[in-house]
Amino acid sequence: MRSLLAWSIGVAALSAWTIGVSALGAAAAGGLHETGAHHHEGAAKLKNPVKPLPASVDAGKRLYTTQCSTCHGPSGKGDGSMASAINPPKPSDLTDASWKHGAADGELFTVISDGATGTSMRAYGQRMKPDDIWKIVNYLRTCAPTTAKT
Ligand code: HEC
């Protein structure tokens, strides 16, 4: 009897663990990226360490043009040469007032670094220095309305 009880507790603990692990797995697989507009609370608090001076905006523009414009378009409207070949979701318009992944500098930085799981927006954190990503954020700020909110 005692061993049966111990066994049931064991099974209950194991299934709780399994549920916990699969929930974690789902969170990892889906990233933090729901399909609709959402915020990243922690990301929103990240401080942009690179001042939006003309030099950093220019550097950001150059990086954007070489790395991002094929999808997001030469002026950020989401109409790059590759855009029509991409499955939905299509590359975002980065010049409008709507930000699916949040409007704060830190949220832009996070989606550029981590990518958007399940879309063609890849994680640039592995191939670009953080300061370069912040420079791109500074450049994108000059393309979108400053009052932009999600
Ligand atoms: C291969 C195509 C492709 C390239 C290259 C690409 N993106 Fe994206 N990007 C996307 C797609 C598709 C989405 C939409 C993701 C979604 O809907 O969740 C996106 C979303 C974004 C968003 C979020 C917009 C929002 O509304 O929240 C930002 C910011 C962004 N990209 C910036 C960049 C930057 C900066 C680069 C270059 C370093 C880049 N992207 C390169 C395809 C691309």
pLDDT tens-digit map of 9-21: 554 444 444 443 3
Ligand 1 atom nearest the C-alpha of 63 is 38
**Positions of the chain with pLDDT under 50:** 11-31, 148
d(CA 42, CA 61): 26
Ligand 1 atom having least distance to the Cα of 70: 5
pLDDT of residue 20: 39
Q: Which of 64, 67, 71 to mutate to test the pocket of ligand 1 (most atoms within 8 A of CB)?
A: 71
Give me the helices (H) in 31-122, please.
41-44, 54-67, 69-72, 105-114
In our burial notation (b when 16+ CB lie closer than 10 A, e otherwise), range 15-31 reads eeeeeeeeeeeeeeeee
Could you report the per-residue pLDDT of 109-131, keeping only the tens digit for each?
A: 999 999 999 999 999 999 999 99
pTM for this prediction: 0.81
What is the whole-number distance in angstroms between the Cα of residue 7 and the centre of ligand 1? Answer: 50
pLDDT, residue 31, reads: 47
